[in-house]
Amino acid sequence: MTVRVTMLCATAADSGPERVFGDGALTERRRRELAALKATLPPYPPALRGPSARCARTAAALGIEALPEHALRDLDHGSWDGRSVADVAAEDPHGLSAWLADPDAVPHGGESVRALCRRTAAWLDALPTGPGPVLTITEDSVIRAALVHALSLPARAYRQLEVPPSSEVTLTLHDGLWSTRIGRLTVPQRRQSSDGPATVAVLTLPATRRPAIA
């Protein structure tokens, strides 16, 4: 019995103080990058995506037909939704510090990191077996939570996992063990070889293998 899910990261590369909690629009630069990345993707059957507008726009830019899946929603940031990290830090520095340090903290009144990890794990565990991968387009928060589950990490490790934009994370469950393959789709770098047409390189990192959580 094998379950395979490939997760594409829709979140933009903005982790500084100006990053806004919650959904956000795609910049024109990001749209151009996604349009270029479209050429690196193999054909996929209809996929799933997070319900955010950002995930919908990412799927559209990649030319992927994707149905919204509520279980793949971003972390609920409660009263911080739509506000920048800098704004929250100025108004509630203790709350922000607690949230960054404690996976059970909910100073915004929304969802804790541990709760996100649990619902993502439940979604992964409920995926049906099949010959082909399930493709999802979702937020970096959901991909981090999926890696916490697949790598059998504690919830506090969520903050130490980096998921850059355009990351491609494939999780495979086989015989009770999860394996992970983490790569990144790169904007096509076309070069003319001496014996053939232009080629496109896609970075792929070595796979790791960890036991599934009981």
State the pLDDT confidence band at 205, using cuts at 50, 70 and 90: very low
Percent of the chain with pLDDT over 70: 69
- SS3 sequence, 122-185? HHHHCCCCCCCCEEEEECHHHHHHHHHHHCCCCHHHHHHCCCCCCEEEEEEEECCEEEEEEEEC
Exposure string of 155-186, with b = 16+ CB inside 10 Å and e = fewer, is: beebeebebebbbbbbbbbeeeebebbbbbbe
Query: Confidence class of residue 35 from pLDDT cuts 50, 70 and 90?
Result: low
Give me the mean pLDDT over the 29-54 stretch. Answer: 72
**How much is the pLDDT for 99?**
95
Instruction: Tell me: pLDDT of 195 over 60.
Output: no
Query: Above 50 in pLDDT, residue 200?
Result: no
Task: Identify which has the larger pLDDT, 70 or 208.
Answer: 70
pLDDT at 190 over 70: no
Q: Kindly report which listed range (101-105, 141-145, 205-209) carries the lowest average pLDDT score.
A: 205-209
Please give the distance of CA 175 from its chain centroid, rounded to a whole number: 25
Model confidence, pTM: 0.78
For residues 65 and 16, which has the higher predicted lDDT (pLDDT)?
65
Judged against a pLDDT cut of 60, whether residue 187 lies above it is answered with: no
% of residues, the chain, pLDDT over 90:
43
Span 153-167, pLDDT tens digits: 999 999 999 888 778
